[in-house]
Amino acid sequence: MELRSDSCGIEVALTVIGGKWKPLVLFHLNHGPRRFGELKRLVTGISEKVLIQQLRELADDGVILRRDYQTVPPKVDYEMTPFGYSLAQALQPLCAWGDENRLQIAELQKEAQSTAT
């Protein structure tokens, strides 16, 4: 996504959390550091490639920290940075909104889908 100087900061935020799985990853890392394998299990349905991809992007954006233990067998874990936590904070209300309206939204989108037929 292209960053523009105009308009609302939401777009900026979306360049960071816009990936399909990123909110999930953030959600899980918000509970503490996680190893790669853990995340793979926690974020059910994601492929390894995409998980790595999203983790890299999050790390590049300074939201999470990748720690490589340089051991054999490999051990790597990911942890939120303070910057990441500030993002998580900003995300709280939206998260709450989503939780509150989950059912209604699911309902509406189901209708829209059937109408679209």
Partner DNA sequence: CAGCATCCTCCATGATACTG
Partner DNA sequence: CAGTATCATGGAGGATGCTG
Residues in touch with DNA (CB under 7 A): 19-21, 35-38, 40, 45-50, 52-56, 66, 68, 73-77
Q: What is the 3-state secondary structure (H, E, C) of 6-55?
A: CCCCHHHHHHHHCCCCHHHHHHHHCCCCEEHHHHHHHCCCCCHHHHHHHH
* Nearest approach, Cβ of residue 48 and its own copies (Å): 19
Tell me which of DNA, its own copies, none is bound by residue 75, counting a contact when its beta carbon lies within the kind-specific cut-off of 5 to 8 angstroms. DNA
Count of alpha carbons within 13 Å of 18, Cβ hemisphere only? 11
* Nearest approach, Cβ of residue 22 and DNA (Å): 8
| Contacts with its own copies, residue ranges (CB under 8 A) | 1, 3, 5, 7-18, 20, 23-24, 26-27, 57, 60-62, 83, 86-87, 89-102, 104-106, 108-109, 111-112, 115
Query: Which residue lies nearer to its own copies by CB, 79 or 105?
Result: 105
Say whether 60 sits in a helix, a strand or coil: helix
* Nearest approach, Cβ of residue 30 and its own copies (Å): 8
Q: How far apart are CA 1 and CA 3, in angstroms?
A: 6
Torsion of CA 74, 21, 26, 41, to 10 degrees: -50
Query: Which residue lies nearer to its own copies by CB, 75 or 94?
Result: 94
